[in-house]
Structure 1
Amino acid sequence: MRNKYTSLQITLHWLVFLLIVGAYCAMELKGFAPRSYRPLFNATHVTCGIGVFFLMIARLLVRIKYRAPQITPKPHPAITGISHLVHTIIYLMFIVLPILGFTTVYFKGSDWSVLGIPMPHAAEADEDREFAVKGYHQLIANMGYFVIGIHAFAALFHHYVWKDNTLLRMMPGKKD
C-alpha cells in the first residue's frame, strides 16, 4: 500500500492552497490599494475563487478514486473521525464559497467576465439577494480562517508531537 498521496492529489492540494491564499489576500489587501487598483483585486479574487471551485471538484473526484494512504502509527479512531469531519467541512466550504461568490455577482445584475469570458447576470439587480448571499459568503470565508488554522495545526501536531506520517503523506517530493 502507498504511504503517500498520489502526485495528482498532492499537486491539486497545493494548487488549491495557493489559490485560496490568492483569494484571501486579494480581499484583505484590496482596502490598502488605491481605488483604481481595486477592480484588479476583485478580478484576482473571483478568478482564484473559480479556480478553487473547479480544483476542489477535481480533488473530490480524485479522492473518491484513490483512498488515503494509512497513517503510521495508526491514530485513535476518535482522531480519525475528527479528521474526516474537518476534511468534509473543508471540501464543502471551498465548493460552496465560490458558488455563493458567483451568485452574489450574478444578483448585481451588471455585466462581468472571468478571463474575458462573459458571465451570466440577473436581468435586473436584486440588492436584497445580493447582500444576503454576500453575507453568507463573507461569514463562511471568515470561518475559513479558523478551519484552515485547525487543518494546519493538526498537520503540524501530527508531525511534531505524535510523530506520525500525516504531514509527510501530502508533501511533494520523492515517494518513501
Structure 2
Amino acid sequence: MRSKYTSLQITLHWLVFLLIVTAYCAMELKGFFPRSYRPAINATHVTCGLSVLVLMVLRLLVRLKYRAPAITPKPHPAIIGVSHLVHTIIYLMFIVLPIMGFLTVYYKGSDWSVLGIPMPHAPELDEDRQFTMKEIHELIANTGYFVIGIHAFAALFHHYVWKDNTLVRMLPGKRK
C-alpha cells in the first residue's frame, strides 16, 4: 500500500489551497485598493472560486478512485471518524461555496464572463435571490476560516504531537 497520496491528489490539494487563499485575499484586501481596481479584484475572486469548484469535483472523483494511504501508527477509530467528518465538510463547503457565489452573480442579471468566457445570467436583476445567495455564500466563506483552521491544526497536531504520518502523506516530494 502507498504511504503517500498520489502526485495528482497532492497537486490538486495544494492548487486548491492556493486558489482558496487567493479568493479569500481578494475579498479581504479589496478595500485597500482604489475603487478602479475592484473589477479586477472581483474577477480574480470569481475566477478562483469557479476554478475551486472544478478542481474540488475533480478531487472528489480522484478521491473515489484512489483510497487514502494508511495513517501510521493507526489512530483511534473516533479520530478517524472526526477526520472523515471534517473532510466531508471541506468537500461540501468548497463545492457549495462557489455555486452560491456563481448564483449571486447570476441573479445580478447582467453580462459577466470568466477568463473571457461569457457566463449565463438571469434575464433581469432578482435582488431577493441575489441577496439570499450572497448571504449563504458569505456564511459558508466565514465558516471556511474555522474549518480550514481546524484542518490545518489537526494536520500539525498529528505531525508534532502524535508523530504519525498524516501530514507527510499530503506533502509534495519523493516517497520513502
Same fold (TM over 0.5): yes
Paired with 1:6 and 1:119, the residues of 2 have a C-alpha distance of: 33
Residue 75 of structure 2 is matched in structure 1 by 75
Q: Aligned partner of 1:106: which letter?
A: Y
How many percent identity over aligned positions?
82
- Displacement of 1:129: 0.6
Matching residue of 2:99: 99
Deviation at 1:38, TM superposition (A): 0.5
TM-score scaled by length of structure 1: 0.99
CA displacement, residues 113-141 of structure 1 (integer Å, 9 cap, x when unaligned): 00001111010100011001100000000
**Structure 1: segments with no counterpart, 5+ residues:** none
How many pairs align?
176
- TM-score, structure 2 normalization: 0.99
Distance 1:63 1:106 in 2: 30
After the TM superposition, which parts of structure 1 deviate over 3 Å for at least 4 consecutive aligned residues?
Answer: none
* CA distance in 1: counterparts of 2:139 and 2:98, whole angstroms: 13
Give yes or no for the alignment of 1:155 onto 2:133.
no
- Give the Cα separation in 2 of the matches to 1:53 and 1:138: 16
Correspondence for 2:64 = 64
Give ranges in structure 2 of 5+ residues lacking alignment: none
For the residues of structure 1 that align with 2:113 and 2:2, how far apart are their CA atoms?
42
Q: Distance in 1 between matches of 2:131 and 2:61?
A: 32
Give the aligned partner of residue 87 of structure 2: 87
- Which whole-Å CA distance do the structure 2 matches of 1:99 and 1:50 have between them? 8
Q: Deviation string for 1:127-169 (max 9, x for gaps)?
A: 0110011000000000000000000000000000000000000
User: 3-state SS of the aligned residue for 1:125?
Assistant: coil
Q: RMSD between aligned alpha carbons?
A: 0.4
Distance 2:17 2:57 in 1: 14
1:17 aligns with 2:17: yes
Q: Secondary structure at the match of 2:32?
A: coil
Code of the aligned partner of 1:122: A
The one-letter amino acid of 2:102's match is: F
Paired residue secondary structure (1:31) = helix
**Does the alignment pair 1:38 with 2:32?**
no
Query: How far is the alpha carbon of 1:11 from its aligned partner?
Result: 0.3
Deviation per CA, 1:35-80: give whole Å up to 9, x if none. 0001111000000001100000000000000000000000000000
2:136 is matched with 136
